[in-house]
């Protein structure tokens, strides 16, 4: 026996609600297969759900565009910071800097290029390295060059500005997603109630006619894998 399957995507939920809303507009309440109270709830809920989905789609697109822009800036800033850290190690190897100098940069315990593979890594190490060079030069030591900390700082600050904007967009997107989850829960409850009413309205009809009438209202019936579709014709 085929069973009804509730929508599991936003598009399917919208289709079910729009179908019911259309029926409510076209059919007299005397002949409608579900109560007017349910129709009013759908009529009120549907535009809010559609608006929330549209807003979420826009915010996802904006976040994606922001991320692409950020990634370009990130790669450039990572390259400059990586080069600065490398020339620091080269200076130590040449004896131009003592190994104690690595403490300024938080590199004395790892003595290798730190991971810069994420935005968080770059934000963390950029701050430590630049502050370390500022402190080192303030104590009278010669600044490292090629690149200088000033050049690295320009790229790093560009990255941090873009990263800050990205996090704002991401927070907004996440809040919109939480809103969508709440709408989905309300939509599922509304559709379940709606379909219960529709099936009760046609409960006295033969099975195949009941499903046919219910399907006109948007109810989806599916067969289990071990069932044959010719059952309804028997």
pLDDT tens for residues 146-164? 999 999 999 999 999 999 9
Domain ranges of the chain: 3-81+149-226
Strands 3-4 and 221-222: antiparallel
Tokens of 148: 């200088």
Tokens of 113: 């290029």
**Predicted pLDDT of residue 228:** 54
Helices marked H in the chain — which ranges?
A: 10-26, 36-93, 119-138, 149-201, 207-216
The residues near 179 (Cβ < 8 Å, ≥ 6 apart) are 52, 56
Tokens of 68: 């692409």
Nearest to 183 by CA among 17, 3, 5, 35: 17
Tokens of 205: 């009809």
- Residue 171 half-sphere exposure, CB side, CA atoms within 13 Å? 6
CA–CA dist 31, 201 (Å, integer): 10
CA–CA dist 85, 129 (Å, integer): 8
Which parts of the chain have pLDDT scores under 50? 230-234
Q: How many CB atoms lie within 10 A of CB 211?
A: 19
**Predicted pLDDT of residue 186:** 98
**Predicted pLDDT of residue 224:** 76
């Amino acid at each position: 026996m085929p069973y009804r399957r509730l929508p599991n995507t936003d598009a399917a939920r919208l289709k079910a609600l729009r179908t019911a809303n259309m029926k409510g507009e076209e059919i007299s309440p005397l002949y409608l297969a579900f109560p007017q109270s349910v129709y009013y709830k759908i009529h009120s809920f549907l535009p809010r759900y559609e608006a929330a989905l549209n807003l979420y789609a826009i915010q996802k697109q904006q976040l994606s565009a922001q991320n692409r822009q950020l990634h370009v800036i990130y790669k450039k800033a990572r390259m400059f910071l990586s080069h600065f850290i490398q020339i620091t190690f080269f200076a130590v190897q040449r004896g131009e800097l003592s190994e104690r100098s690595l403490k300024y940069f938080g590199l004395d315990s790892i003595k290798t290029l730190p991971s810069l593979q994420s935005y968080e890594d770059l934000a963390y190490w950029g701050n430590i390295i630049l502050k370390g060079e500022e402190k080192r030069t303030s104590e009278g030591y010669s600044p490292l060059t090629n690149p200088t900390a000033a050049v690295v700082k320009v790229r790093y600050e560009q990255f941090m500005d873009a990263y800050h904007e990205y996090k704002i967009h991401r927070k907004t997107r996440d809040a919109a997603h939480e809103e969508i989850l709440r709408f989905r829960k309300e939509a599922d409850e509304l559709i379940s109630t709606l379909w219960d009413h529709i099936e009760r309205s046609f409960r006295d009809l033969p099975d195949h006619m009941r499903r046919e009438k219910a399907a006109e209202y948007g109810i989806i019936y599916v067969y289990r894998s071990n069932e044959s579709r010719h059952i309804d014709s028997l």
